Homo-oligomer: A and B are copies of this chain.
Amino acid sequence: MATRKEVAERAGVSEATVSRVLNNVGPIREETKRRVLEASKALGYYPSALARSFVRRKSGNLGVVLPYVPKVNVFSTYYFAEVLSGIGEAVREYGYDLLLMFRSPQESMDFAGLFKSQKVDACIILGSRDVSEERAALRILQEEGHPYCLINQHFEGESFSEIDAEHKQGSLEAIRHLIALGAKRIAFLNGTLDFSNSVDRLEGYRKALAEAGLPFDPQLMLEGNYSRKSGYAAASRVYAMLDSLDAIFVANDRMAIGLMQGLRELGVQTDDFPAIVGYDDSDAARLTDPPLTSVHVPFYEMGKRAAKRLLAQGTDGSDDEGAPREMLGTRLVVRKSSRLRET
C-alpha cells in the first residue's frame, strides 16, 4: 500500500501539501496540484478513512437501529425495505455511510453509548416501543443533544425527534370508508399499545365510530402483535362472531393476510368474509384474494426525511430544532376486500 509519504516524495512536496490537495483546502498552485494528483494516482494511494475519522472525530456513519429476531420479522420486510431505501438515498446524497445495528427486542439499548464511543455521528431508531427503559434511554439521548430521530413512533409527553405518519387520520378514513359502505359492527385487530401507532389507530377508530353515532364495543377489539401468525391466530375469534360482524379493520397487512388465511382454513368462503381493511399498503396487499384495501404509509419518504433531518444538521450551521415531530400523510387505497358481503 502506497503511503502518503511516498506520494509527497514523488511529487516533490511535503505531506501537508498532499493533504491539502486531496482535501481541496487552502490555496494551491495549479502545477503543484497536478503533480500531487499524478503521483497519488501513479502510486495508487488511498487516504485512510480510519485515520481521517479519528482526527476529525467523526465516523462518517449514520447508524440505523432495528429490532431483530432471527428468522422472524416482527414488522413486514416491506416496512424495513422501504424505510431503508429512503435512508439509503439520503445517505448517499450526503456522502455518509450507513451502519446497521440490530438489537434483540428485549435488550434495552444504550443509544447514547453509540455516540460516546463515536461509532455513529447520527442515528435513526426503528421499531422503538414505549416502555420505560426505552424512554429512559431516549431521554438521555435527547438531554445530551445527540442527533437522532425516531421513525414511526411517538412518545407522548416528551419532545423527542420523530418522523411519524398520520395514523389517526388514516384509521379514521379507513373506518369512515367502511361505515359509508354500510358497516355497523366493525371489529378491530390492533397491535400492542406500546407502539404509538397502535394508539393512534385506536383513536381514529373511536373517532370515526363516534362521528357516525355508533357505539364502541370492547367485544370487537382484538389484539395481535403485527405478525402474520397473530393474524392467523385471531381468525378463530373472528370466526366465532362472524355473523354479527360487518367488517374488520386490521392494523397491518401481515396480520390481515394471516387472518384471511385463517378464516379460509376454518372454511369461510371468500364471499362470506367480512369487509377487511388492512394497513401499510404493502406489495402483498395487491396479491391477496380478494385484493386488500389498505392504508398507504409513505415509509420511503419517512426514511428519507429522517436521514435528511439528521445529515443536514452537519452541513448547515443550524442547530436544527424546529418541529421535533413531523408527520407525513397517509392515504386509503380501496380494493376489493372492503366490500360488504351480501346479506
Chain A positions within 8 Å of B, measured between CB atoms, are 1, 44, 46-51, 53-54, 57, 59, 61, 68, 70-71, 73, 77-78, 80-81, 84-85, 88-89, 91-92, 97-102, 113, 116-119, 257, 283-284, 287-289, 300
Contact = CB atoms under 8 A, between A and B. Distances in A.
A117 B46 contact: yes
A70 B49 CA distance: 27
B47 A117 contact: yes
A244 to B, nearest CB: 28
A88 B102 contact: yes
Contacts of A91: 102
Contacts of A119: 49, 97
Copy tally for this chain in the complex stands at 2
A19 to B, nearest CB: 15
Contact of A102 (B53, B92, B102): B92
Contacts of A44: 116
Contacts of A59: 49-50
Given A92-B102, A102-B92, A117 B287 contact: no
Given A48-B54, A50-B50, 20 more contacts: A1-B116, A46-B113, A46-B116, A47-B117, A50-B57, A53-B54, A61-B99, A68-B92, A73-B85, A77-B81, A80-B81, A84-B100, A88-B102, A98-B99, A98-B101, A257-B287, A283-B284, A284-B287, A287-B287, A287-B289
